[in-house]
Amino acid sequence: MIDYDKLLNFKIPEVRQTLTARDAVFYALSIGFGQDPMDARQLPYVATHKGPAVVPAMAVVIGHPGFWAADPATGIDAVKVVHGEQRITLHAPLPASGEVIGRTRVTGLVDKGEGKGALLYSEKEITDAATGKLLATTGSTTFLRGDGGFGGPSGPVIPPNPMPEGAPDIVVDLPTRLEQAFYYRLNGDDNPLHIDPEIAAKAGFPRPILHGLCTLGVVTHALMRELGDYRPEALKKLSLRFSSPVYPGETIRTEIWKNGAFRARVVERDVVVVNNGHAEFAA
């Protein structure tokens, strides 16, 4: 059972991380960069002799505190945790090397009621350890499916981005690989839901699901290709809602509007997996 005050003030360990070019390249590979060997625009992200450039979505794994919700002291039913929403704000280009500090905190809890789950809002600030400069701020909404009814407040709830009427202006299909979750988890997101069939079954899934943040990475790739010309400094903000899981091996189709709105679906099942997306790019 969640203790509202205890979880709201739960001390998530600060993370100091020394980044190398290898980390930047691995992250890019883990979200599917480099699958087209003839696309030279991707080379700065996956080949150190051409960069490396850092995919801005890497902010979600830099300074990551790990699966801290699995700590029994949180009171969270960790098996039933699902990533609901993600927000990223880039204050400066992410460095390919050097030491960074990630500081994560719980910013809000919403009790949806007995049997209806709860929402946990958290925020991470990434700073340059040498200068103290703020590099990025990320925000997450985590759906605690097994933890409603603890007596917490029913709001406020962060509203979703509105979606445009009509057909998207651009459609991008990018494949995922059957073993992709095994690679992606080495970025520090080690929830066993994504690799262990037994854990996935206990959570109500027929097989392990792809990390939501890996899906975000694939979608960010599509957005960078179409709206940012693969420039690492172009993406300024991104937010989205995860609406359904992706299974490794499926193709993610990102549907993009020129005003920065987007959603994504898996081609094989025609199911929307990302909704209410919005990205802001510099000119």
The DSSP string of 203-247 is TT-SSPPPPHHHHHHHHHHHHHHHHSTT-TTTEEEEEEEE-SPPP
Report residue 71 CA to chain centroid gap. Answer: 21
Report how far residue 45's alpha carbon sits from residue 52's, in angstroms, rounded to the nearest whole number.
5
Least confident among 44-53, 101-110, 252-261 = 44-53
Residue 215 has pLDDT above 80, yes or no: yes
Report how far residue 43's alpha carbon sits from residue 217's, in angstroms, rounded to the nearest whole number.
17
Predicted local confidence at residue 37, as pLDDT: 87
Indicate which residue of 189, 211, 221, 278 is catalytic. Answer: 189
Residue 48 has pLDDT above 80, yes or no: no
Confidence label for 188 from pLDDT (cuts 50, 70 and 90) = confident
Calculate helix-pair angle for 212-227, 21-30, nearest 10 degrees: 100
Residue 51 has pLDDT above 80, yes or no: no
pLDDT higher for 47 or 17? 17
Whether 194 is catalytic: yes
Indicate which residue of 83, 194, 221, 278 is catalytic. Answer: 194
Dump pLDDT digits (tens) for 238-247: 999 999 999 9
Confidence label for 259 from pLDDT (cuts 50, 70 and 90) = very high
Report how far residue 51's alpha carbon sits from residue 249's, in angstroms, rounded to the nearest whole number.
29
Whether 278 is catalytic: no
Report how far residue 257's alpha carbon sits from residue 234's, in angstroms, rounded to the nearest whole number.
17
- Of 123, 197, 184, which is closest to residue 158 (Cα–Cα)? 123
Predicted local confidence at residue 20, as pLDDT: 94
Task: Provide the CATH topology of domain 4-281.
Answer: Thiol Ester Dehydrase; Chain A (3.10.129)
Dump pLDDT digits (tens) for 59-91: 999 999 988 999 999 999 998 888 999 999 999
Least confident among 36-40, 111-115, 128-132 = 36-40
In the beta sheet, which residues pair with residue 136? 90, 126
Residue 26 exposure: Cα atoms within 13 Å on the Cβ side: 14
Query: Residue 29 in contact with residue 183, Cβ under 8 Å?
Result: yes
Report residue 216 CA to chain centroid gap. Answer: 5
Residue 35 has pLDDT above 90, yes or no: yes
